[in-house]
Structure 1
Amino acid sequence: MPDKPYRPNVGIALFNGAGLVLIGRRFRDDGPEIILPGLEWQMPQGGIDADENPREAVMRELWEETGVSRAEHLGETDWMNYEFPPYDGPPTHRLAKFRGQRQKWFALRYIGRDDEIDPLAPRNGQPAEFDTWRWERLDRVADLVVPFRRDVYRAVARLFAEFAGPATG
């Protein structure tokens, strides 16, 4: 795997006014993606297109995966990496082409209404990734994701802990 590159990616910790983050439940039949029973949840994330900067990518990915277009920037991390687990499926899938993901995480404050969130509608020709969503405490999310993402999620929880509480001001 060391000869494969990392896939450039953004991750999104979307906080509501109560300081909870949005998580989505991945479809079980989402192609060759690795999903373990009880660990189907994750925060929105996605690839950075060629010639796209991470701040543009984060808003595009957030909209594509959730329908959310109204969010304020709170903070961002440096780049973090995680490795994909071994994979022997179709060679065109990202798990076969990349070693893992190189992510920049963004903390955003949602300024819309819950009824505006719709993870099921396809956008920009992208199929839905989540079949449902909910608000969750940031410090609990790492326990709900597949093991290969947990270290990054724990780092994100530490780095964005200041946003995990009721919004002030």
Structure 2
Amino acid sequence: MLDQHGYRPNVGIILTNPLKQVFWGKRLGQHSWQFPQGGINRGESPREAMFRELWEELGLFENQVRIISRTEDWLRYDVPDRWIRRDLRGIYKGQKQIWFLLEFLGKNKDINLKATNHPEFEAWKWNDYWVPLSQVIDFKRGVYKEALKELAPALFTDKKHLVPPAGWEKAEGPGHFRLYK
């Protein structure tokens, strides 16, 4: 299901723990890290898609999270030509996403990357809110940057955390926390 401009509707999820760290998932069989995300099915609202994706990718139920905020409008990214199937070239441009900021109400053991037969992630960790964009696949970095900046005021009340740290966009590093598999 594409819109008239060639973008597939999608949701992104920024899941936070009580320390205001964010869930950071390692893509199955890849060296890239990302937030949970997925397409919106025909007839599904962004909210409904978000809860479905939360279950499919993390094994979490609606009662295990609280919605803090969401982006006001769609954020878009273009997919490089090499990632587009030949039959969609010229029609499909990329994805448009509504991002949700969620508070995780459960415990780490509640996160189940193998809740379905089609896992997206092979490992995960909690990371600082301003995740290193260098670990995100290059064509998605702009959307991550926009989503994190737009949603930060809903999570942080102090000015110190509202502004990304110096060098954030180029920061390297795996984060500071235990890796879960």
Which amino acid in the other structure matches residue 141 of structure 2?
R
Q: Which has the higher contact order (CA 8 A, sep 6+)?
A: 1
Greater Cα radius of gyration, structure 1 or 2: 2
2:65 corresponds to which of 63, 71, 76? 71
In the alignment, which residue of structure 1 is the partner of 2:36?
A: 44
Query: What do the CA deviations read for 1:46-105 (whole angstroms, capped 9, x no partner)?
Result: 00000000011101101100011111010010111000012267547x889621000000
Kept in 2, the 8 Å contact 1:84–1:95? The answer is no
1:110 corresponds to which of 98, 104, 110? 104
Q: Could you tell me the percent identity over the aligned residues?
A: 37
Kept in 1, the 8 Å contact 2:69–2:102? The answer is yes
Distance 1:150 1:50 in 2: 27
Q: Which portions of structure 1, spanning 4 or more consecutive aligned residues, are displaced by more than 6 angstroms? A: 94-97
> TM-score, length-normalised on structure 1?
0.80
In the alignment, which residue of structure 1 is the partner of 2:141?
A: 150
Structure 1 unmatched runs, 5+? 29-34
In the alignment, which residue of structure 1 is the partner of 2:18?
A: 17
Kept in 1, the 8 Å contact 2:55–2:115? The answer is no
Distance 1:88 1:68 in 2: 29
Distance 2:133 2:89 in 1: 21
In the alignment, which residue of structure 2 is the partner of 1:81?
A: 76
Counting only pairs closer than 5 Å after superposition, residues 122-141 of structure 1 correspond to structure 2 as 122=116, 127-141=118-132
Counting only pairs closer than 5 Å after superposition, residues 1-16 of structure 1 correspond to structure 2 as 5-16=6-17
1:142 Cα deviation from its structure 2 partner: 2.1
Cα RMSD (Å): 2.3
Question: For residues 84 and 115 of structure 1, do their structure 2 counterparts lie closer, same or farther at Cα, with a shift above 3 Å needed?
Answer: same
Kept in 2, the 8 Å contact 1:75–1:106? The answer is yes
> TM-score, length-normalised on structure 2?
0.75
